[in-house]
């Protein structure tokens, strides 16, 4: 058996913070898993170092399922983003090792390729509708077949998804949370105007997406969904907070705009009612925040029998390790929908050498054994951790709101 002899957590900040778990077997084979939880990085690092790693040493690296069950059922305190990100890191590192030992790219172990490549969506954003459309035109020229549109809202100094850097996006912009201001009344009429302008400029042969980032009530989301219908959006994301999964019944009754939810979910239980009742069209759970490949297989399986497709989260705060693992999953999973692809900076990319490549609006995970992503430890050590928090939102009268 390939015995686990070493495991360590590497925290690095090549432009932004990433937490990576590296597991090594007695034969010297190693695997890596992403454990980054934006703004809570050190909590996961401590969970791994203090509570998980001591229990891994000496185990058989091939027993991925048993180790997953040990860390989930055996912990008594189940679920939650910190626990599930730590489990995900172990799971992905072990799948990486298993595939390397087999001499195969990971997607072959999952069941082989179901498609030639993985359609991704990029992010067009700007302070005004005109700027966002210019960005979207540039994305289309780069070959993207799917583009997310976010624009500034007149009367609000800043809003979610509108960034200074065009290809990258970093909302964790200060050591302590920045306070933003929100107004749903100002936002709601802006988005249909954006989509109308986008369809005029881009035509019909490109998918258009939008993220409401948990800011609407169900009836407001229903209104927005109806208003967007003439422009045939690919999806409306995170229309309302999903702690109350039944909220989506109301949205569903009113609009045919497809709904995507789940980037903040960390287990199948967060999505069960949404999927069972076919209240959503795309499930956005990620490898890193929802228990790794082993758990996403269960979520995707439940989704498949309920006509829900995958549309995994792929923001800059999910490391290249997570992206690599997600691409292997996407290439295999039968009910694939789309993959989010927010690019990493060149500084991040060199710390995480990777086999995946972009061409014609799609990514391919490559043919390297394992998931094809590694970490350059010597380079990583040059970028020490820097505290960074996600913003908070307040309404114009000061009431604390969802960000
Ligand atoms: O860390 C938070 C980001 O990952 C999130 O705000 C990005 O909503 C997001 C998206 O759809 O990529
Ligand atoms: Mg989102």
Residue 115 structure tokens? 């498609």
Does domain 4-108 bear CATH number 3.40.50.970?
Answer: no
CATH topology of domain 110-368: TIM Barrel (3.20.20)
pLDDT of 325 reads 98
Q: Of 123, 207, 210, 213, which residue is the catalytic one?
A: 213
Catalytic status, residue 144: no
Give the Cα separation of 337 and 70 in Å (integer).
Answer: 32
pLDDT of amino acid 166:
74
Q: Residue 314 C-alpha to ligand 1 middle, in angstroms?
A: 8
- Residue 211, ligand 1, Cβ within 6 A: yes
Q: Which atom of ligand 1 is nearest to the CA of 237?
A: 11
What pLDDT shows up at residue 165? 74
Identify the residue whose C-alpha is closest to ligand 1 atom 12: 315
Please provide the DSSP assignment of 135-186 as one string: HHHHHHHTT-SEEEEEE--TT-S--TT--SSSS------BSSPPEEEE-HHH
Residue ranges of the chain that CATH labels 3.20.20.120: 110-368
Pick the residue whose CA is nearest to atom 5 on ligand 1: 315
User: What torsion do the CA atoms of 274, 150, 148, 320 make, to the nearest 10 degrees?
Assistant: -90
Instruction: Write down the pLDDT at residue 243.
Output: 95
Pick from 213, 214, 182, 173: nearest CA to 390: 173
Supply the residue whose CA is at minimum distance from atom 3 of ligand 1.
315
What is the structure's pLDDT at 172?
93
Find the 123 Cα to ligand 1 centroid distance in Å: 11
Q: What is the pLDDT of residue 7?
A: 98
Catalytic residue at 107? no
Number of the ligand 1 atom closest to the C-alpha atom of 148: 11
Ligand 1 atom closest to the Cα of residue 314 is 12
Distance, CA 45 to ligand 1 centroid (Å)? 21
- 45 Cα–ligand 2 center, Å: 24
Nearest to 308 by CA among 352, 377, 261, 343: 261
CATH 3.30.390.10 domain locations along the chain: 4-108
pTM above 0.95, yes or no: yes
Task: Tell me which of 16, 178, 241, 263 to substitute to probe ligand 1's pocket, judged by most ligand atoms within 8 Å of the beta carbon.
Answer: 263
Distance CA 281, CA 326 (A): 19
Q: Which atom of ligand 1 is nearest to the CA of 38?
A: 1
* Distance, CA of 86 to CA of 176 (rounded, Å): 24
pLDDT at site 104: 99
Distance from the alpha carbon of residue 100 to the mean position of ligand 1, in angstroms: 31
For the chain, 403 residues long, give each residue's pLDDT as a single digit of tens: 999 999 999 999 999 999 999 999 999 999 999 999 999 999 999 999 999 999 999 999 999 999 999 999 999 999 999 999 999 999 999 999 999 999 999 999 999 999 999 999 999 999 999 999 999 999 999 999 999 999 999 999 988 999 877 777 889 999 999 999 999 999 999 999 999 999 999 999 999 999 999 999 999 999 999 999 999 999 999 999 999 999 999 999 999 999 999 999 999 999 999 999 999 999 999 999 999 999 999 999 999 999 999 999 999 999 999 999 999 999 999 999 999 999 999 999 999 999 999 999 999 999 999 999 999 999 999 999 999 999 999 999 999 999 9
Distance CA 331, CA 118 (A): 6
Tokens of 156: 């609000």
Q: Is the CB of 16 under 6 A from ligand 1?
A: no
């Amino acid at each position: 058996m390939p015995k686990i002899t070493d495991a360590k957590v590497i925290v690095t900040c090549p432009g932004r913070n990433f937490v990576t778990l590296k597991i090594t077997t007695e034969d010297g084979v190693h695997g890596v898993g992403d454990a980054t939880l934006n703004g809570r990085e050190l909590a996961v690092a401590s969970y791994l170092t203090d509570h998980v790693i001591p229990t891994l040493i000496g185990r058989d690296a091939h027993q991925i399922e048993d180790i997953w069950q040990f860390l989930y059922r055996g912990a008594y305190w189940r679920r939650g983003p910190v626990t599930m990100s730590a489990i995900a890191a172990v799971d992905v590192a072990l799948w990486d090792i298993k595939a390397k030992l087999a001499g195969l790219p990971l997607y072959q172990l999952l069941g082989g390729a179901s498609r030639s490549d993985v359609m991704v969506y990029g992010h067009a954003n700007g302070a005004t509708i005109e700027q966002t459309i210019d960005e979207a035109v540039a994305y289309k020229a780069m070959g993207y077949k799917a583009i997310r549109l976010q624009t500034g809202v007149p009367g609000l100094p800043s809003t979610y998804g509108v960034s200074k850097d065009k290809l990258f996006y970093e909302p964790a912009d200060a050591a302590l949370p920045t306070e933003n201001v929100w107004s749903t009344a100002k936002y709601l009429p802006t988005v249909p105007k954006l989509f109308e302008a986008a369809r005029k400029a881009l035509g019909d042969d490109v998918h258009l997406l939008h993220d409401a980032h948990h800011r609407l009530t169900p009836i407001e989301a229903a209104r927005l969904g109806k208003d967007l219908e003439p422009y045939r959006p690919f999806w409306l994301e995170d229309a309302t907070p999903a702690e109350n999964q039944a909220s989506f019944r109301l949205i569903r009754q009113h609009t045919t705009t497809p709904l995507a939810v789940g980037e903040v979910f960390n287990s199948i239980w967060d999505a069960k009612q949404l999927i069972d009742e076919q209240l959503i069209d795309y499930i956005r759970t990620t490898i890193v925040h929802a228990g790794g490949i082993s758990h996403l297989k269960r979520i995707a399986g439940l989704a498949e029998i309920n006509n829900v497709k995958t549309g995994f989260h792929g923001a800059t705060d999910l490391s290249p390790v997570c992206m690599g693992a997600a691409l292997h999953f996407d290439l295999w999973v039968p009910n694939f929908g789309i993959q989010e692809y927010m690019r990493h900076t060149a500084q991040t990319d060199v710390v995480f050498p990777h086999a995946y490549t972009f061409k014609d609006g799609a990514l391919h995970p490559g043919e390297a054994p394992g998931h094809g992503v590694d970490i350059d430890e010597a380079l990583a050590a040059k970028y020490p951790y820097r505290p960074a928090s996600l913003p908070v939102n307040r309404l114009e009268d000061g009431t604390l709101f969802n960000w």
